[in-house]
Amino acid sequence: MTLDQPAVDRPALARLVAEAEVGGEMPDDDVPLYAPRRNIYPQSVHGRFRNIKWTVLVVTLAIYYLLPFVRWNRGPNAPSQAVLIDFPNRRFYFFFIEIWPQEVYYLTGLLILAAILLFLMNAMAGRVWCGYLCPQTVWTDLFFAIERAVEGDRREHMLRDARKWTADTYLRKGIKHFLWLMVAWWTGGAWVLYFADAPTLVKELATGQAPFIAYAWIGILTFTTYTLAGHMREQVCLYMCPWPRIQAALTDEYALNVTYRYDRGEPRCSAKKAEQLRAQKQPAGDCVDCLQCVHVCPTGVDIRGGANLGCIQCGLCIDACDAIMTKLGRATRLIAYDTDLNIKQRIEGKPAFYKLLRMRTVLYAGIIAIVGGVMLYTLATRDTEGISVIHDRNPMYVRLSDGALRNGYTIRIVNKRLKYRDFIVGVDGVPSSLIDFVGLPPRADGRQLVTVGPDQTKEVRIVVTDYSTTPPPPSTSILFKLIDIDSGETAEVRDHFFGPGG
Ligand code: SF4
Ligand code: SF4
């Protein structure tokens, strides 16, 4: 496949089959190795897929810009922002979920879920992510809308650019770039609000009291949004993004893709010529070669040339062609979400079939269900307290002047609840031992009461001394235990008591 194929009148399927037979791309002498960038002026279009794209654009941008201002009451000891990445306190808040640094595996699980969901979308409906949900698509679509509002639709814009530039041209371009920069600036501004209390940070930003890093990130994201969505547009999809290449390897013959039904459209000719040909019982396709499908395409693709890496599967060419077919009184969906297999079926006079339920879609859905289920279960049943131990490394043990052996440990007690909690901490497994909690009053039973603040951890030093007269083994397994006095919830962790030879 090439990135930018010219319209060809031979069936795409024949080309793909031929390419498969020669084990690579068919030689195409008339296509240069380097294609200079063409300015793309996508024409506005109305229809079902355009409406879906507007809806997705409004919903996703509204979520992105407004989510930092949504509040979530977690009580007096926690932030009230629903979604917050709290780097100073090393927490990630997502509504009722709070992720600690040691629970980063939930994020790994989320990434796995996102990847498999992308595979599933691809197996069902090709690059539906690229066409509707990808941030590059959403922001570029918004920038196109601004461009059309200021500089006019395709025809008007092209004419104005081709003519000698006047003060009006400069003014319009200035307004467009100003509006683009405003959107880009808001985009960067919204991003930093996910990392601090949004209303407070807005006030600080407005009064120049925000930390430098916030201004720096706003600057970086303003620049990247303005450049990627305003200037690079389809170049990102064609050359920078790896997903088109990956999805080309993942797709199969049953995945629905935006497809020109050449079995119905070819041979293309004007409506008048088609009438004449049909009157003479000659074949005439439904495509009138009006190029509307190309003019509305945000990546400048002619879908009639067959499968194309540049096609982001946005469906706008379907809307454009449907409008032409409706005007001509012909059946719509000359371009549609379909498969090349179905085209072959129709050519052979067989009924089209759609196979959404197949091995790979079931497998992807199964993986999503399992990973999602495991994550939900572990989230719902995860402990709200924890204990970890680090044994002193140098030295591993100390022999005291009276012959006793001593090991030192640092324990960390975790309290994930949003209230103070009292824990009894104890050590089991070393007979005849004396357990000292450094800095805390000694207790005869070797146990200690430790209070940990809400949503905090507390570090405690413990030394364990073995006064037994018999030589201890090189290593003895011991158990550190934690009991919440109020709820009785427990946590424990094993470590070792080392002696000579250990
Ligand atoms: S060819 Fe059609 S579906 Fe593909 S990107 Fe262009 S308009 Fe969208
Ligand atoms: S919009 Fe439809 S009729 Fe017009 S060129 Fe494209 S496929 Fe042919």
Measured from the CB, is residue 193 less than 6 Å from ligand 1? no
Residue 317 beta carbon below 6 angstroms from any ligand 1 atom: yes
How far is it, in rounded angstroms, from Cα 178 to Cα 186?
Answer: 12
Q: Check: CB of residue 106 under 8 Å from CB of residue 99.
A: yes
Q: Determine the distance separating the centroid of ligand 1 and the alpha carbon of 300, expressed in angstroms.
A: 8
Task: Please state, in angstroms and rounded to a whole number, the distance separating the CA atoms of residues 376 and 396.
Answer: 41
Placement of tokens 């994930």 in the chain = 416
Long-range contacts of 52-57 (CB under 8 A, 24+ apart): 52/132, 52/315, 53/131, 53/132, 53/141, 53/314, 53/315, 53/316, 56/132, 56/133, 56/138, 57/138, 57/141, 57/142
What ligand is nearest to the CA atom of residue 266? 2
Residue 431 has a pLDDT of 72
Q: Ligand 1: does its nearest atom lie under 6 Å from the Cβ of 472? A: no
Which one, of 299, 316, 241, 387, lies nearest residue 50 by Cα?
Answer: 316
Q: Quick one: which ligand is closest to 297's CA?
A: 1
Look up tokens 């005849």; give the residue: 432
Residue nearest to atom 1 of ligand 2 (CA): 321
Is residue 5 in contact with ligand 1, taking CB distance under 6 Å? no
- Residue 309 sits at φ, ψ, to 5 deg, of -65, -25
Separation CA 345–CA 319 (nearest Å): 24
- Element spanning 436, H or E: strand 433-437
Which residue puts its alpha carbon closest to atom 6 of ligand 2? 293
- DSSP label of 195: G
pLDDT under 70 in the chain at which residues?
1-31, 432, 442, 444-446, 502
Q: Is the CB of 307 under 6 A from ligand 1?
A: no
What is residue 471's predicted lDDT score, i.e. its pLDDT? 77
CA nearest neighbour of 84 among 72, 62, 68, 100: 68
Q: What is the pLDDT of residue 434?
A: 82
CA of 250 relative to ligand 1 center, distance in Å: 20
- State whether residue 434 is helix, strand or coil: strand
Task: Indicate the SS3 state at residue 428.
Answer: strand
| CA separation for the pair 415, 454 (Å, rounded) | 6
Look up tokens 């949504």; give the residue. Answer: 70
SS (H, E, C) 374-400: HHHHHHHHCCCEEEEEEECCCCCCEEC
Per-residue exposure over 218-240, b if at least 16 CB sit within 10 Å of its own CB, e if not: beebbeebbebbbebbbebbbee
Query: Can you tell me the distance from the alpha carbon of 176 to that of 172, in angstroms, rounded to the nearest whole number?
Result: 6
Q: What's the length of the chain? A: 502
CB of 292 sitting under 6 A from ligand 1: no
Which pair of tokens denotes residue 250?
Answer: 């993942």
Enter the tokens of residue 193: 């609000």
Q: Is 128 in the pocket of ligand 1 (CB under 6 A)?
A: no
The identity of residue 88, as a single letter, is: P
CA angle 108, 111, 113 (to 5 degrees): 110
Most ligand 2 atoms within 8 A of CB, residue of 335, 338, 343 to mutate:
335
Joined together, the tokens standing for residue 280 give: 């003479």
Q: Please report the pLDDT score of residue 5 as a whole number.
A: 42
Give the number of whichever ligand sits closest to the CA of residue 5: 1
Which residue's alpha carbon is nearest to atom 8 within ligand 2?
Answer: 287
Q: If residue 390 lies in a helix (H) or strand (E), which one and from where to where?
A: strand 385-391
Q: Which are the contacts of 406, defined by CB distance < 8 A and separation ≥ 6?
A: 397, 398, 399, 400, 463, 464, 465, 466
Report the nearest atom of ligand 1 relative to the CA of 312: 5
Q: Pocket residues for ligand 2 (CB within 6 Å)?
A: 260, 265, 287-293, 304, 320-321, 324, 334-335
Look at residues 206, 304, 322 and name the one whose alpha carbon lies nearest to residue 258: 304
Distance (Å, rounded) from C-alpha 303 to C-alpha 289? 12
Ligand positioned closest to the Cα atom of 127: 1
The token duo for 426 is 């104890």
What integer pLDDT is reported at residue 18 of this predicted model?
Answer: 42
3-state per-residue secondary structure call for 445-474: CCCEEEEECCCEEEEEEEEEEECCCCCCCC
φ and ψ of 308, to 5 deg: -145, 130
Q: Using CA positions, which residue lies closest to atom 6 of ligand 1?
A: 297
How far apart are alpha carbons 145 and 137 in whole angstroms? Answer: 12
Work out whether the CA dihedral 291, 3, 155, 129 comes out positive or negative.
Answer: positive
Nearest CA to ligand 2 atom 7: 287
CA of 225 to the centre of ligand 1 (A): 22
